[in-house]
Amino acid sequence: MKIPGSKSILQRVLLLMAYNKQSLSIYNYNPCGDLRELESALISFGYRVSGTETRREFLFDEELFRDSEHHYYFQYNATGFRFWLSFLASLPGTRSQLWVSDILIERGYAPLSQALQAMGAKISLSGNLLSITGCKLSGGKYNLAGDISSQYASSLILAAPFMQSDLTLELSPFQVSQSYIKLSLQMLALFGLETQITGPEIHIPVQSLRLPRRFKVDSDFSTVAYYAARAALSPQGLRIPIFYRKELQQADEQIFDFLVAMGASVQRGKSYVRIRPAALQGSSFDLKDCPDLMPVLSILALFCEGRSTLLNVGRLAHKESDRVSGIVAAFDQIGAKYDLGKDQLTIYPFAGELLAQHQDGKAIVLDTQNDHRLVMAFSLLRTKFPQLTLSETGSLDKSFPWGYEELI
């Protein structure tokens, strides 16, 4: 079983490394598609990158930086794109061009761009090309829309220590995925910068960071969540090897609380988590701060006694795919019962009656919509109904780099 390093932590540490123009050795690396896009940006900026599958050496080269044309490209990595936009806007006097795909433009960046321009950067879009003239961002106090993504806030938080003056962000009362914002603040604290939180306001001072020369990345809890859900459905359970710091809390760690609420046994040690199955019970689960758990949790809910309700799922239309539509389309194909409201999904126990009656020999193909999280969710469903097939599995590379055979 391979658990890659956390994408969420990796992207944050790589951005802080770049802001510091520092070299860094990284262990427990995750060479997935999203990180390869960010690596390419770092190389274009002025880094030499070498290493193995799970270790990377990032060496900042001043000469490469001076010669850089500052042309960058993001196709799929929404987090990397939004973080990199603030980074380029923070480069005083540097003109950059950032090509972004249609899907990333559609997923949104306007609130972040508006804040960066208010702080002095110049940003314009022509077709798929963003032109950016950077500056030493002014800092100050800003209200930030947060009903679609937490990445706008995190992008500014990572840039804040390098601004002219302290940054105060007032979060929207509708802010989603606050656990990811907390992770950004925890990363700053890990490297010596303490922030202040007063009600909805976050205050980040201008201060130097102390990054280490070597950094081991915590295990990716989005991948751990898949294996944990799989363990809850298996007869024998599973012991999952993990590395994690209590100081860095990933959003998808909440899977353990959800499993306990369902009745499963969860035992956490220093380097592992053991899941023992039980008769799972349906319950109500709020996904406002952990939206990536929705696909695997929806499959788990099929095998609970009693109905389960997933709350705050409406914004999942803005992910790599419309994940709620992808899940309920699969439910329709297999005959599972559900009620879909504006912002919640209720799922009823499923015995596989339609699948048991499917005798014509024609495979049921579940459409993953080229979404890595749906691949994981439908793979979980296949542990119970192996006659199902998936439309593709290549999109798994976005977060899990070792391929479908290793996952299952």
The residues, any chain, with a CB within 8 Å of residue 203's CB and separated by 6 or more, are: 166, 167, 168, 195, 196, 197
Residue 216 lies in a domain: no
DSSP 139-164: -EEEEE--SS-SHHHHHHHHHGGGSS
Place 342 in a pLDDT band, splitting at 50, 70 and 90: confident
pLDDT of residue 355: 67
In single-letter form, the type of residue at position 273 comes to V
Residue 236 per-residue DSSP state: S
Same structural domain, 226 and 85: no
* Range list of β-strands (E), 4-128: 24-27, 47-51, 55-60, 71-74, 95-100, 122-126
pLDDT digits (tens, 9 = 90+) for 234-252: 999 999 999 999 999 999 9
Q: What is the mean pLDDT of residues 328-355?
A: 90
Residue 339's φ and ψ, nearest 5 degrees, are -125, 125
**Comparing 32-36, 172-176, 186-190, 229-233, which segment has the lowest mean pLDDT?**
172-176
CB neighbour burial string for 229-247, b if at least 16 within 10 angstroms, e if fewer: bbbbbeeebbebebbbeee
Closest CA to 377 of 316, 289, 314: 316
For residue range 277-308, list pLDDT tens digits in order. Answer: 889 999 999 998 899 999 999 999 999 999 99
Q: Pick the last residue of a domain from 170, 205, 240.
A: 205
Percentages helix, strand, coil for the chain (3-state, rounded to 5) are: 40, 25, 40
For residues 188 and 244, membership in a common domain is answered with: no
Please report whether residue 211 resides in a domain: no
C-alpha distance from residue 65 to each of 22, 81, 123, 211, 244 (Å): 12, 20, 21, 20, 34
Which residues, listed in sequence order, are joined to residue 188 by a DSSP beta bridge? none
Q: How many other C-beta atoms lie within 10 A of the C-beta of residue 354?
A: 14
- DSSP string covering 2-27: --PBPHHHHHHHHHHHHHHT--EEEE
More confident site: 339 or 360? 339
H helix or E strand, kind and range, residue 129: strand 129-133
- Centroid of chain to Cα 267: 25
Amino acid at 96: S
Asked if residue 315 is part of any domain, the answer here is: yes
pLDDT of residue 32: 96
Rounded to whole angstroms, the Cα distance separating 162 from 240 reads 39
User: Is residue 160 packed enough to be buried (19+ CB in 10 Å), middle (13-18) or exposed (0-12)?
Assistant: buried
Q: How far is CA 185 from the centre of its chain?
A: 16
Residue 173 DSSP code: T
What confidence category does residue 321 fall into, taking pLDDT thresholds of 50, 70 and 90?
A: low
- Give the CA-trace dihedral at 12, 80, 325, 352, to 10 degrees: -50
Let me know whether 166 and 228 are in one domain: no
What is the per-residue pLDDT for 354? 65
Q: Are residues 182 and 306 in the same domain?
A: no
What is the Cβ-side half-sphere exposure of residue 80, based on CA atoms within 13 angstroms?
A: 28
The number of angstroms, rounded, from the C-alpha of 315 to the middle of its chain's C-alpha atoms is: 14
Q: What angle do CA 98, 29, 256 make, to 5 degrees?
A: 105
**Count of the separate structural domains present in the chain:** 2
232 and 131 co-located in one domain: no
pLDDT value at 195 more than 70:
yes
Q: How far apart are CA 140 and CA 117, in angstroms?
A: 13
Tell me: do 103 and 186 sit in the same domain: yes
Beta strands in 195-321, from DSSP E residues, in sequence order: 196-198, 201-204, 214-216, 238-241, 265-268, 272-276, 284-286, 308-311
The whole-angstrom separation of Cα 41 and Cα 29 is 17
pLDDT of 340 reads 94
If asked whether residues 391 and 291 sit together in one domain, one would say yes
> Which tokens is 133 given?
């003239």
Using alpha carbons only, give the angle 24, 28, 30 rounded to the nearest 5 degrees.
95
Structural domain for 99, as ranges = 7-205
Pair 255, 231: CB distance under 8 Å: no
Domain check: are 199 and 232 in the same one?
Answer: no
As a whole number, mean pLDDT of residues 386-408 equals 92
pLDDT of residue 125: 97
**Do residues 65 and 52 lie in contact, with contact meaning Cβ atoms separated by under 8 Å?**
no
CA separation for the pair 287, 289 (Å, rounded) = 5
| Same domain? 123 vs 232 | no
Average pLDDT over residues 149-162: 95
Percentage of the chain lying above the pLDDT 70 cut: 96
Average pLDDT over residues 69-83: 97
Indicate which CATH number applies to the domain containing 227: 3.65.10.10
- Domain boundary among the residues 205, 239, 262 is at 205
d(CA 157, CA 49): 26
Residues 286 and 141 in one domain: no
- pLDDT band with cut points at 50, 70 and 90 for residue 356: low
Structure tokens of 346?
Answer: 């209720």
Residue 353 has pLDDT above 70, yes or no: no
pLDDT over 70 at 312, yes or no: yes
* Same domain flag for 248 and 176: no
- Joined together, the tokens standing for residue 125 give 């879009």
In a domain, 354, yes or no: yes
Is residue 104 included in any domain, yes or no?
Answer: yes
Could you tell me if residue 263 is left (phi over 0), alpha (psi between -120 and 50 degrees) or otherwise beta?
A: left
